[in-house]
Amino acid sequence: MDIEKVNSMDFGEFMDVFGNVIERCPLIAAAVWSKRPFSDLGDLEKHFFAFIDGLPLSGQEGVLRCHPELAGRELHWGRLTAESQREQSAAGLQNLGAAERLRLSELTAQYRARFGFPFVLAVRLSDPAAAPRELARRLRCPPAQELRTALGEVKKICHLRLADLLGEQP
């Protein structure tokens, strides 16, 4: 799909394609549609990122809270969005051993208790075996810093999803 096609989309078409570029936050795509025409993928992505950066703290935490846990109940119950399902499955999170799943669920519970939002990691860009280690490292970060790190992961996921949709190299 080229950027001219994107610019020609009406609101409904744009939402059908880009509505879940930020996990379970269609409002962001709805707002970005108003910024068309886009010069290229980078320009489109810039508007998604700018919307997130412009949110108040409560909104940024809300974006994170819309993300499913890694290898959590939703993965095992098949209740993830198509994009998350693809990402988490491709990262092998469906095939964790019982001990690994327990360790990850303990760490994600500690993380959510400390920060009030789920641990978000762009799993396509990281070694899934490193997720527990990365989680344990980030668990020790100050809340303000961890918010920035987590939003950075949301942006990485957004970048990968946009690249997929536009058929570009991530």
Query: Does position 69 bind ligand 2AL by CB under 6 A?
Result: yes
Catalytic residue annotation: 67
* Sign of torsion over alpha carbons 100, 102, 103, 105: positive
Of these, 22, 28, 41, 70, which contacts ligand 2AL (CB under 6 A)?
70
Beta-carbon contacts of residue 62 (< 8 Å; ≥ 6 apart): 55
Q: Would you give the binding string for ligand 2AL spanning residues 99-118, x where CB under 6 A is met?
A: -------------------x
Element (H, E) at 163: helix 143-166
Task: Answer whether 138's CB lies under 8 Å from 111's CB.
Answer: yes
Task: Answer whether 136's CB lies under 8 Å from 106's CB.
Answer: no
> For residues 93 and 97, what is the distance between their CA atoms, to the nearest angstrom?
9
> For residues 129 and 49, what is the distance between their CA atoms, to the nearest angstrom?
28
Query: Does position 20 bind ligand 2AL by CB under 6 A?
Result: no
Query: Does position 157 bind ligand 2AL by CB under 6 A?
Result: yes
Query: Does position 45 bind ligand 2AL by CB under 6 A?
Result: no
Nearer to ligand 2AL by C-beta: 38 or 120?
Answer: 120
- Binding to ligand 2AL in span 72-91, by CB under 6 A: 84, 87-88
Count of positions on this chain that bind ligand 2AL (CB under 6 A): 15
Query: Does position 96 bind ligand 2AL by CB under 6 A?
Result: no
